Amino acid sequence: MTSAKVWPCARLSGVIDLKFLRENPDVVRASQVNRGEDPSLVDQLLAADEQRRAAIVKADQLRSEQKAFGKKIGQASPEERPALLEGSNELKEKVKAAGEEAAAAEAKVTELQYQLSNVVEGAPAGGEDDFIVLEEVGEKPQFDFEPKDHLELGETLGLIDVKRGAKVGGARFYYLTGDGAFLQLGMLMLAAQKAREAGFKLMIPPVLVRPDVMQGTGFLGQHSDEIYYLPADDLYLVGTSEVALAGYHKEEIIDLSKGPLQYAGWSSCFRREAGSHGKDTRGILRVHQFDKLEMFVYCKPEDAEEMHQKLLNMEKDMLEAMELSYRTIDIAGGDLGSSAARKFDNEAWVPTQDTYRELTSTSNCTTFQARRLSTRYRDENGKTQYAATLNGTLATTRWLVAILENHQQADGSVVVPEALRPFVGKDVLYPVNS
């Protein structure tokens, strides 16, 4: 597999709301600064938008002249007609040139729009280390023995096999074996049940998507090298089922009159982990393939903040069901993905690393993705508006890292969280001989 190609921006429709940009340029400039990105793009886009509108007016005027000239030719005498036809041909060329100018101006606007990330809403300024800790939940485990890391536990308990994973797939691949497979399946099944109880429809979506869907969700920007691309088929492997769920209602007018549409996608996910050489190479914390249950919501923009809190609360409830100590952080603008206006992460305590590591994220993407994918709804007046979209992880493979390390015992066994015991069929996992 090769890395992702760049998808031509000009083939797609609008992204940033140009009306909002014209009326609030300082807000968008401040958002760019918050993200550590180029604020001059705002002025470039405003200038391009002015040129586009002027080109459209010019083209429309020439077409009107052409239409009027056609009527004049129809009413002309045979003697007058040759000269008028010559003038008509000149006008035809001007109309053609004006149309080409307008099309080029439109393409320039679209190109610049796709360089602008979503407008930040409330996120702290700064980069990866400038998050704000909102709360810490639970007590960190205290051991009277030297704790083992998740890989050593996984191997001695017969749960994880990275050696054979590397033999078959290469670095950062692995097998979940025996009770390790049941741990993951149980965790995902519990997440699916919780999602259904909260009103989400369970989905098993495609893991291969078209370029316009991948681009529409905002994943073909700065981090496109993280994505696996299949050039023979012109398809991408998803790194999250958010992509397929965002494309589910592409170019549709959806019904939000009875409330948000809520989906939970269960899928395998694939990431190249480009640029992470030497980082988290041990075990299953940072791998090329993993399974995940991802929540995805379409709602009216005014409901997005409330839905964001709902997703965050569901993630916290799931972490507490895993009996993990964690903290919730507000991600800084410079560490947001291009589509997110606000993002919260939940990080679980990993004893052998003596630090918190991310297990879940939930993002409010406002109307950014829906504009790219043309997903709309009708408001109370029957007028179409762009929907807001949100996403959040409810369970994924890397959770096993925290579960194994936090629930280990002195004899090398691991206590299964009570909520997972019906799925695993065991209360405690003991070391195996082979």
For residue 333, the Cα-to-chain-centroid distance in whole angstroms is 15
Q: Does 391 show up as a binding residue in the annotation?
A: yes
Joined together, the tokens standing for residue 51 give: 């040129």
Which whole-number Å values give the CA distances from 79 to 68, 86, 260, in the listed order? 19, 13, 68
380 a known binding residue?
no
Write the secondary structure of 350-361 as one string of H (helix), E (strand) and C (coil): EHHHCEEEEEEE
Check the CA dihedral 254-255-259-261 and report its sign: negative
Residue 273 known to bind ligand: yes
324 is in an annotated binding site: no
The response to whether 44 counts as a known ligand-binding position is no
Q: How many helices (H) and strands (E) does the chain have?
A: 13, 19
Q: How far apart are alpha carbons 72 and 84 in whole angstroms? A: 8
**197 annotated binding-site participant:** no
Paired strand residues for 269: 290
Would the annotation count 364 as a binding residue? no
271 is in an annotated binding site: yes
> In angstroms, rounded to a whole number, what is the distance separating the alpha carbons of residues 307 and 326?
21
Sheet of 376-378: strands edge to edge? 253-254, 376-378, 384-386
Q: Which residues pair with 328 in a beta bridge?
A: 135, 346
Establish whether 240 is an annotated binding residue: yes
> Is 433 one of the annotated binding-site residues?
no
Question: Is 405 labelled a binding residue?
Answer: no
Which residues are designated catalytic?
Answer: 271, 286, 358, 361, 398
CA-closest candidate to residue 224, choices 105, 305, 337: 337
- Residue 287 marked ligand-binding: yes
Q: Is 77 exposed, middle or buried (0-12, 13-18, 19+ CB in 10 A)?
A: exposed
Measure the CA–CA gap between 324 and 344, rounded to whole angstroms.
Answer: 17
294 is known to lie in a ligand binding site: yes
Annotated binding site: 240-242, 271-273, 287-290, 294, 358-361, 391, 393
Known binding positions for ATP:
271-273, 287-290, 358-361
Binding-site residues for L-serine = 240-242, 271, 294, 391, 393
